[in-house]
Structure 1
Amino acid sequence: MPDFDVVELGPTDHPEAGDEAPDFTRPLVNDEFWEDRSLSELTDEGRVILIFTPMIASYAAKYVWDELTERGWNEGDARIVGVSASTPYAHSSVIADNDYPFELFADPANGVAERYGIAHDLDGMAGVSEPRTAFFAIDSDGVVEASWVATEWPEFPEYDDLEEQLDLV
């Protein structure tokens, strides 16, 4: 039995297949530096899998990024990019400490998750929110092809099914 409570997160208003993905500009962090980039700049270069996780140093975020690293998601034709409500400094540290081959958008105010309809308030912390775990496949025109969004915390997808749904296999 887990030593934490599973929390129902309630309904979302997230983009579905066929919807235009909300564009945004935030610091994009990699293993060497960060710079402000927009989602549309990335999709102009090709297909993007946009992955929202809770705070980047949380066990839930680490579980997701460890799984994707082990599965070799960085070796496919889609660009894998994360978003969390953490600072560029925190992202940089986690990327370096774990040797993650991915880029992460820093969104400390959680505005991107709000635009995607997947922000949730943290229990007992007034004014503090983070994204729920979510995956969006976005084509080079900025249109959502597929999505998976957690309905409870903690929740993780069935990765084999997710790879098929996001057309990564």
Structure 2
Amino acid sequence: MVDFDVVSLPETDHVAEGDTAPDFTRPLVNEEFWEDRALDDVVDEPTLLLFHPMDGAFQATYLYNTVDDHGWADDVQVLGLSISSPYAHKRLLAERGEGVRLFSDPGAGVVEEYGLAHDIDGMTGITESRPAVFLLDADRTVEFAWVASEHPEFPDAEAINTAIDRLVD
């Protein structure tokens, strides 16, 4: 049995429902290659934008298993983002995240702009993203937002299903 403590995360001023998701340009990784892409250039349809800790963290594995289990990539475009390198993203996508593409943000600049920065205990100078889910319309307006308030915490898959259904119907 895995033993860990639940830790409350500090309040954050994150991107919220009704906001326009900030644009950024970072390497966007698919199963075959990566290239610098701007969020604005790839969001031209409903998009589920997922922020998560490093790819090796169990939260990332759980999140992309949930994406696969619920078939979200069949209903909307699914994009992820973490501080992991494109190489780590390719390994993650080889195992899960069918139809998903991942932005690489090793400097955590996008994570900070979205108000999701979380310093990793015991790793001085390393910032990663707290888990977060944003459902965007084709104009990058945030239609649904969920941001973790404790560690570990996972989004409510049924709430995401409902938000996706509401946006695409």
Same fold (TM over 0.5): yes
Tell me, what secondary structure is at the counterpart of 2:162?
helix
Task: Report the CA distance between 1:136 and its aligned residue.
Answer: 0.5
Task: Report the CA distance between 1:2 and its aligned residue.
Answer: 5.2
In structure 1, distance between residues paired with 2:119 and 2:167: 31
| Partner deviation per Cα, 1:105-146 (whole Å, 9 max, x = no partner) | 011111111000011101121111110110011111122111
Gaps of 5+ in 2: none
In structure 1, distance between residues paired with 2:81 and 2:112: 12
Task: Report the CA distance between 1:98 and its aligned residue.
Answer: 3.4
Residue 24 of structure 2 corresponds to 24
| Aligned pair partner of 1:151 in 132, 149, 168 | 149
Task: Report the CA distance between 1:101 and its aligned residue.
Answer: 2.4
Distance change >3 Å, CA 168–CA 31, structure 1 → 2: farther
Distance change >3 Å, CA 98–CA 138, structure 1 → 2: closer
TM-score by length of 1: 0.92
Gaps of 5+ in 1: none
Residue 63 of structure 2 corresponds to 64
CA contact (8 A) 1:56 1:62 kept: yes
Please, what is the CA RMSD of the aligned residues?
A: 1.6
Tell me, what secondary structure is at the counterpart of 1:15?
coil
The count of corresponding residues between Structure 1 and Structure 2 is 167
Residue 109 of structure 2 corresponds to 111
Within 5 A, what are the aligned runs for 1:27-38?
A: 27-38=27-38
In structure 1, distance between residues paired with 2:42 and 2:95: 25
Distance change >3 Å, CA 11–CA 99, structure 1 → 2: closer
TM-score by length of 2: 0.92
Within 5 A, what are the aligned runs for 1:20-169?
A: 20-43=20-43, 45-76=44-75, 78-98=76-96, 100-166=98-164, 167=166
In structure 2, distance between residues paired with 1:142 and 1:165: 15
In structure 2, distance between residues paired with 1:100 and 1:53: 17
| Partner deviation per Cα, 1:58-98 (whole Å, 9 max, x = no partner) | 1110011011111111110x211000110001001111133
Residue 4 of structure 2 corresponds to 4
Task: Report the CA distance between 1:99 and its aligned residue.
Answer: 6.2
Tell me, what secondary structure is at the counterpart of 1:74?
helix
Q: Kindly report structure 1 stretches of 4+ aligned residues shifted beyond 6 Å.
A: none
